[in-house]
Amino acid sequence: MFDFRLNCPVFLLMAKRLIGLLTKYGKVSAYLFALACFGLSSHSMANDDTNTILGGELEQLKKQVLSLNRDLFILEEDLLYPASTQIAVFVSVDIGRFFSLDSVELKIDGEPVVGFLYTDRQRIALEQGGLQRLYLGNVKAGKHQLTAIFTGKDKQQRAVKRAKNFSFIKEEEAVMIELSMVDASANYQADIKIEQWAH
């Protein structure tokens, strides 16, 4: 009289949806099993095709948006910072055991150009090997002086400030300078290393 089904596949279908916390491997297996038992193949496959087509179109759109984003960035850089006047300053941290970076301030020819306060996430990203482009700007051709001021804490959580000057000559090509906070095991401190990249 009453037709209610209490099938294993029904269970597994239900459970499959909730198993999203796990990785896909148990889930995939359960789903395959449920499909085999419950015979949901044909209709779901047709829907899968539609989803796949849409998914493909969406992916194409994302790629186009990304590629447009890239081209816009590059055009902006070429327009606003041509190589003949461009200067780019990068920051990196070599391990970071002896110095925990809080902020960096940059001056060019005595004029402050950028100050950056680091969040924990950004600091960790640098310690993991990331390289940050701190500043992108324009300078005239000729001789200039860069001053970098690093503020942070040492291993004993004492406030520390390190500064360094660097002279460079701006010519036709873009100037790229890397400021690196390098751990010095000899004295358990960190030093600033400034290096201009060759072309």
Partner 1 sequence: MRSILFSCLFIVGLMANVQTANANEEASQEIVVSEQKMAQERALDKADKAFRQALFYYFQGEPAQALNQLYQNEQRLGSAKLNARLFEAGLSVHLGLPASAQAILKKIVEQKAAYQQSLKHELEQNTVEPVLAEQPSHTNQFLDTDEQELLLVALLQLSEYAVEHGNNLTAKSYLSQIETVLPQYRDQYHILKQLSAWPKPYVIENTLKLDDNEDHEPQVTLSPYVQFNHAIMALDRGQYEQAYTLLMALNDTPETEAKPNLWQSLFSVSRASEKYVSEVVQQNSDNASDNIAGPYHLSEQRDFDALSDYANLMLAQVYVMQDEYEKSNEVLARFPQDTPFSENALFLFGFTKLKQGDVIAASQLWLLLTEQYPDSYLSWQTPALLAQYYKDLLQYEKAYHQLEQAEISHVSQLESLRAFKFDFSNAKDLRNFARLDRDANASAEGQNDSIEIKLNGELNDDPEVNQQILVLRRHIQKIKQHKQLKISLLANERYQSTSNWLNQALKDPRLLSLYDDLLELGLLKQHIEKQETSVKWLAHNIKLNQGRHQALVAGLDKHKMAQTLSNLTTQASRLSQTINLAQTSDDMFVFASEDEKQWHLQIKQGRDFIGQMSAHIRGQLPEKLRSYQKRYQRLHGALQWQLKEKHIARLWAHKDLLADVYKHIDNLEQQAIRFEQAKQRNFVVGSLIERQAALQNRVLTIGNESDKIANHTSLNIRQKVLLFIRNKETLLNEHLLNTRIGMANLLELIQQKHSRLNSNTNFKNKIQSDVEAIFKADNDGEIGARPVEEKRGQL
- Whole-Å CA distances, 6 to 12, 13, 14, 167: 11, 12, 12, 80
- Whole-Å CA distances, 135 to 8, 32, 58, 188, 196: 62, 53, 35, 29, 14
In the list 104, 106, 108, 126, the residue contacting partner 1 (rule: CB under 8 A) is: 126
- Minimum Å gap between C-beta 8 and partner 1 is 6
What's the Rg (C-alpha) of the chain?
28
List binders of partner 1 among 156-185 (CB under 8 A): 178
In the list 109, 112, 133, 145, the residue contacting partner 1 (rule: CB under 8 A) is: 133
Site string for partner 1, 55-94 (x = CB under 8 A): xxxxx-xxxxxxxxxxxxxxxx-xxx-x-------x-x-x
Binding-site size for partner 1 (CB under 8 A) equals 76
Site string for partner 1, 103-122 (x = CB under 8 A): ------------------xx
The CA distance from 66 to 17, in Å, is: 32
83: which 2 tokens?
């190589």
List binders of partner 1 among 14-33 (CB under 8 A): 14-15, 17-19, 21-26, 28-30, 32-33
108: which 2 tokens?
């060019």
The CA distance from 56 to 50, in Å, is: 10
Is 46 a binding residue for partner 1 by CB under 8 A? The answer is: no
- Minimum Å gap between C-beta 49 and partner 1 is 11
